[in-house]
Amino acid sequence: MTELLTDRLILRRWRAADLEPWAAMNADPEVREHLGDVLTREQSDASVAQFQAEFDQRGYGWWAVEARATGEFIGFAGLDQVDDGMPFTGVEIGWRLARSAWGQGYATEAATAVLAYGFDTLGLPEILAVTTATNLRSQAVMRRIGMTRDPADDFDDPAAPEGPLRPNVLFRIARGAGV
């Protein structure tokens, strides 16, 4: 599996040692504010097994993100096939960091490397990003990496419960649009 290297980060395959800090992130209501309920340790571990399987099948997925200076696992970033049932299809980019890793430009740095991989290595014509209308931090990352939102693409996530997780926004970037 390809590893992606940036100035401060390594995007790499998941390791057993990541499971504990990953579970801690998934048990943090602040990290999960725009994602849904916090996850149990079992759910958290199962998600990693799924990430590995998807990566092996497709050659892309969610990389574990490590800070090079400390060797610390700080979250994930990567690409995924848009879920069935969404009002659009394609490949989406995403990111999720431990609270202690916010505010340092790490999500933008990881996302920039992931976008380049999607366009240059996978040859994708377009990459999408989806989040709740209220997740302004994630939307700021989308804007920083050059993605744009057409309000006409706003949609209600059919898989979300009634409430703040339901109204979603869609950002797009086409190959060649540049960062």
Ligand X SMILES: CC(C)(COP(=O)(O)OP(=O)(O)OC[C@H]1O[C@@H](n2cnc3c(N)ncnc32)[C@H](O)[C@@H]1OP(=O)(O)O)[C@@H](O)C(=O)NCCC(=O)NCCS
Closest CB to ligand X among residues 105, 161: 105
Cβ distance 64 to 55 under 8 Å? no
Interface residues with ligand X (CB under 6 A) are 31, 34-35, 94-97, 102-108, 131, 135, 137-138, 141, 144
Closest CB to ligand X among residues 96, 172: 96
Closest CB to ligand X among residues 60, 106: 106
Tell me the one-letter amino acid at 119: F
Give least dist CB 139 to ligand X, A: 9
12 Cβ contact list (under 8 Å, min separation 6)? 1, 3, 63, 64, 66
Closest CB to ligand X among residues 123, 163: 163
Cβ distance 10 to 17 under 8 Å? no
User: Which of 102, 93, 87, 104 minimizes the C-alpha distance to 60?
Assistant: 93
Give least dist CB 142 to ligand X, A: 9
Q: What's the rounded Cα separation, in Å, for the pair 7 and 45?
A: 29
Give least dist CB 137 to ligand X, A: 4
Give least dist CB 103 to ligand X, A: 4
